Chain A
Amino acid sequence: MEKFKTLTATAIPLDIENVDTDQIIPARFLKVTNRDGFGQNLFRDWRFQKDGSVNTNFVLNQPQFDGPILVAGDNFGCGSSREHAAWALTDYGFKVIVSSFFADIFKGNALNNGLLPVQVSPEFLKELMTTIQADPRTKITVDLEAQTIGVDGSNHSEAFEIDAYKKTCMINGYDDIDYLLSKKETIEAFEKTLQAY
């Protein structure tokens, strides 16, 4: 897993609530057996019309907006457990998703792929969204060690929460498998005591 410490970059405002994983990556693209290349179909049915032409109204297709930070509406990543959603976002180039609320499974999947979900207050989200919409060159700084997110050149910033263990994993690029394998003896000992099952 890639390490993450801090990031200063421009962001893309996706001002839509309840973005579900079927929108992030539609099921018809889940037939492959590896985890590469999902970025080309990220938000497929919003980025492209049915005839394959580009939907110029969709924010990812608007040239003034770019960057590795996606600022999205409330309840991002709801729906299916498909980790393909996190793979599609990272493959497209996103490193941080900012929202006022994340669905559980998506949040876990993102953290397991070095994609940082930053949960901010609804007020701060609104402010971020309007600031970026007004000036697409606005730079946002996400500092994982300090657990803060802020708008560069202004005093607008907010602290965010992250599980301490997950934070260590992100900063060092560790994943859960490494940790669980180091606990194998404890797990085997537990199995012997498991009366119920």
Chain B
Amino acid sequence: MGKTLFDKVWDAHVVDTIDNGPQILYIDKHLIHEVTSPQAFNELEERNIPVFRPDQIVATADHNTPTINQHLPIKDELSRKQLEQLSENCKKNNITLYELGHKYNGIVHVMAPELGITQPGMTIVCGDSHTSTHGAFGTIAFGIGTSQVAQVFASQCLLLTKPKSLRVSVNGKLKNGVLPKDVILYIISKIGTNAGTGFFCEYAGDVFENMSMEGRMTVCNMSIEMGARGGMIAPDETTFEYVKGRKFAPKGEAFDKKVVYWKTLPTDNNAVFDKEYHFDAEDIEPMLTYGTNPGMGIKISEFIPETSDASFEKALDYMNFKKGETLIDKPINFVFIGSCTNSRIEDFRIAANYIKGKQKADNVTAWLVPGSKQVEAQIIEEGLKAIFDDAGFELRQPGCSACLAMNDDKIPQGEYCVSTSNRNFEGRQGQGARTILASPLMAAATAVEGKIIDITKQLN
């Protein structure tokens, strides 16, 4: 029987196997940030254990950083202390840190790929569930808890049981106005938020083959929202082209040698998956969520389902939506374009392309938060900032921002926010805030119209 992409990368990293137990998996890169690392550093210190491979760790500050006036001291004392703690821990342990204001600072899942830290065939972990993003490169990448952060600090390894394999194939031609975000929201709406639990997912089919690396990252990013620890896409010429020439990518002959290896990684034709789903690209439309988990999504042309179930009704009650209604024409006062799902340059190009020559609706507060300092610089360099400024949008500084509202970027109680982020949980974007997940195009259109519209009517 052939091997899957996942098998090949996993098997290459197994150090040892415990009888009737988990395996010891070697981790190539460990990414850390301010929120889930301090307790792990404390634990090592308390137990007098040194950091085993500091050169394989890269740190950034992102979750708890302000998105305005980053050059000034942080006002919130707890946030400031948490960032100071990260700097101190990295310094003490010789770990590379791209702190606030550094030209490489950014959301961990945006900055690592753009610096070429993320490469095909690697194992990458981070104390953040959206680490699945890096799977876009044909990488085994997944989120871990803080105890596991400490384990990787101590040994560069984790004890894990190999997950089962799942493949989601989408073939055909995507309709006008359907973006990678819509593809993944569609998949989750079809299979549910726990269909992937216990599995590692591979996305296959020509829809993903034809996607840019930015699009693939958006898709893999949300693998965890269907319960899968990670999602992967086979590396190909698009991947190699993206990695080539980046700061930490191998250079010259070393790069060519890697490419030869990377080309051996795609799933063998005779490999068998534990579970498979197939979808038709033509069935996908721009998507929106109406509830309080990412699986509660509908196509723009659809109505909220008429399900009778306590959890479903609790969610609709929270959102103040009714069964059987459409989301079209719902007035919206907040729009957020950002997060590790959709804050890469391509996302802002899409938004700018739509916004150009239009004006933001007066009722809307629209925050555009780039994923990294490099994305921010590119937005300015490509003239996108001028488009956003002219249209009344606010371009802020990089960070996780209103995706989880740990900093001051909170959506007020009861307000709807059309958001390009990844989670519409109760209170995720602020206490009582109501999140509607969508693509950057849908978000931009909402900001211009001041309400949700059927974007396909404008495009066709």
State the A residues within 8 Å of B (CB): 15-18, 20, 22-23, 26-28, 30-35, 45, 50, 73-75, 78-84, 86, 101-105, 108-109, 112-113, 163-165, 175-177, 179-181, 183-184, 186-187, 190-191, 194, 196-197
Contacts A22-B427, A104-B198, A197-B121; A30 near B406 (Cβ below 8 A): yes
Q: Does B432 contact A (CB under 8 A)?
A: yes
A22 and B198 contacting across the interface, CB-CB below 8 Å: no
Residue pair A176, B147 in contact (C-beta under 8 Å): yes
Contact, CB under 8 Å: B145 / A78: no
Provide the bound-state CA to CA distance between A67 and B193, in Å.
29
Interface pairs (17), CB distance under 8 Å: A30-B64, A31-B76, A31-B78, A32-B78, A35-B42, A45-B426, A74-B194, A80-B129, A101-B197, A104-B227, A113-B147, A164-B20, A165-B21, A176-B158, A181-B155, A183-B157, A191-B156
Assess whether B64 is in contact with A31, with CB atoms less than 8 Å apart: yes
Residues of A within 8 A of B426 (CB): 22-23, 45
Q: Are B82 and A33 in contact (CB under 8 A)?
A: yes
With a cutoff of 8 Å between Cβ atoms, the chain B residues found around residue A45 in the complex are 426-427, 431
Give the distance in Å from the alpha carbon of A48 to the alpha carbon of B236 in the complex: 51
Bound Cα distance A154, B157 (Å): 45
Contact at B405–A165, with CB atoms within 8 Å? Answer: no
The answer to whether A180 touches B148 (Cβ under 8 A) is: no
Q: Report the minimum CB–CB distance from B292 to chain A (whole Å).
A: 8
Binding site for A on B (CB under 8 A): 12, 15-16, 18, 20-22, 24, 26, 28, 35-36, 38-39, 42-43, 47, 49, 63-64, 76, 78-79, 81-82, 85, 121-122, 127-129, 131, 143-148, 150-151, 154-159, 161, 163, 193-194, 197-198, 224, 227, 229, 261, 293, 310-311, 314, 404-406, 413, 423, 425-428, 431-432
Nearest chain A CB to B169 CB, angstrom units: 23
Is the beta-carbon distance between B151 and A81 smaller than 8 angstroms? no
- A148 and B391 alpha carbons, distance in the complex (Å): 62
CA distance A151 to B236 in the complex (A): 55
**Shortest beta-carbon distance, A178 to chain B, in Å?**
9
A194 with B38: CB separation less than 8 A: no
With A104-B227, A105-B144: A79-B431 Cβ-Cβ less than 8 Å? no
Report chain A residues within 8 Å CB of B82: 31-33
A35 vs B425: C-alpha distance in the bound complex, in angstroms?
Answer: 24
Separation of A111 and B222 alpha carbons in the complex (Å): 25
Tell me, in angstroms, the Cα distance from A80 to B400 when the chains sit together: 13
Q: Are A80 and B151 in contact (CB under 8 A)?
A: no
| Beta-carbon contact of B193 and A34 below 8 Å | no
**Most-contacted residue by chain A among B144, B425, B426 (CB, 10 A):** B425
> Across the interface, which residues of B come within 8 angstroms of A84, CB to CB?
146
Name the contact of A78 in the complex, choosing from B18, B193, B427 (C-beta under 8 A).
Answer: B193
Whether A27 contacts B404 by the Cβ 8 Å rule is yes
Could you say which residues of chain A place their CB within 8 Å of the CB of B425? 20, 22-23, 79
Assembly CA distance A18 to B431 (angstroms): 18
Residues of B within 8 A of A74 (CB): 194
Top 4 A-B pairs ranked by shortest CB distance?
A: A165-B21, A33-B38, A112-B147, A109-B145
Which residues of A have CB within 8 Å of B413?
50
In the docked arrangement, what's the CA distance between A176 and B145, Å? 13
Supposing A28-B405, A31-B406, A186-B16 touch, asked if A80 and B159 sit within 8 A by C-beta, the answer is no
Nearest B residue to A1 by beta-carbon distance?
Answer: B147
Contact A196 B193 (CB under 8 A): no
Q: Which of A75, A163, A186 meets B161, CB within 8 Å?
A: A163
State the Cβ distance, B219 to closest chain A Cβ, in Å: 19
CB pair A180–B151 under 8 Å, yes or no, is: yes
Instruction: Kindly list 15 other residue pairs between chains A and B, CB separation below 8 angstroms, not including A105-B144, A109-B147, A163-B21.
Output: A20-B293, A22-B404, A22-B426, A31-B35, A31-B78, A31-B406, A78-B193, A104-B198, A112-B147, A165-B18, A165-B22, A176-B148, A183-B155, A183-B157, A197-B121
